[in-house]
């Protein structure tokens, strides 16, 4: 059982590289849902992930549906600015389940039609109304650390 981050069609290599580095540092698996807006061997992706990329637990999925079918017993949460609840409202202390935090592409997020019937799993991050959204890698780090905080930072110093 563990924590997973899934990026739906990420577009900006440095964001994915930064997220990969955070995943490695926290023991979080990274899942990339195709199509990607870059190649995995992109220099800017590797630069942001530094020399850590080869150690990251990365999984690739051809579609949103393929991710879900690969992990049928996992709990999925979707970090979106149109979420109906806040990230901090959810009890993530679930050692018996894999938890997935799914974040959408930088320009458009996760399409609403993919979240039909999952609205209660769409979560917001607290922020004021001066911006539309946070940077993807920042939002991801906030979400990862909230889950880990609730779990008592397992296996972290």
Give the DSSP letter string of 50-69. Answer: GGGGGGS-EEEESSHHHHHH
Q: Is the pLDDT of residue 130 over 90?
A: yes
pLDDT in tens, 78-111: 999 888 899 999 999 988 899 999 999 999 999 9
**Percent of all residues in the chain with a pLDDT value above 70, rounded to a whole number:** 94
142 is annotated as contributing to ligand binding: no
In this prediction, residue 50 has a pLDDT band, given cuts at 50, 70 and 90, of low
Structure token digits, residue 108: 């458009």
117 is annotated as contributing to ligand binding: no
Specify the pLDDT at position 105: 93
> In the CATH hierarchy, which fold is given to the domain comprising 3-150?
Alpha/beta knot (3.40.1280)
144 is annotated as contributing to ligand binding: no
Q: Smallest Cα–Cα separation from 53: which of 102, 16, 26? A: 16
133 is annotated as contributing to ligand binding: yes
Cα–Cα distance measured from residue 13 to residue 36, given in angstroms and rounded to the nearest whole number: 9
Domain boundaries, the chain: 3-150
Q: Smallest Cα–Cα separation from 150: which of 91, 96, 86? A: 91
Specify the pLDDT at position 44: 62
């Amino acid at each position: 059982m563990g924590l997973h981050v899934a990026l739906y069609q990420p577009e900006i290599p440095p964001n994915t590289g930064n997220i990969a580095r955070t995943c490695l540092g926290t023991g979080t698996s990274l899942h990339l849902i195709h199509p990607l807006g870059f190649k995995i061997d992109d220099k800017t992706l590797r630069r942001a992930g530094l020399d850590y990329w080869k150690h990251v637990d990365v999984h690739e999925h051809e579609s949103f549906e393929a991710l879900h079918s690969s992990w049928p017993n996992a709990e999925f949460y979707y970090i979106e600015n149109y979420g109906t609840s806040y990230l901090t409202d959810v009890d993530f202390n679930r050692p018996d389940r894999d938890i997935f935090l799914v974040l959408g592409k930088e320009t458009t997020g996760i399409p609403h039609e993919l979240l039909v019937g999952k609205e209660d799993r769409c979560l917001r991050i607290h922020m004021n109304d001066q911006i539309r959204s946070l940077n993807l890698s920042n939002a991801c780090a906030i979400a990862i650390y909230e889950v880990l905080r609730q779990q008592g930072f397992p296996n972290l110093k």
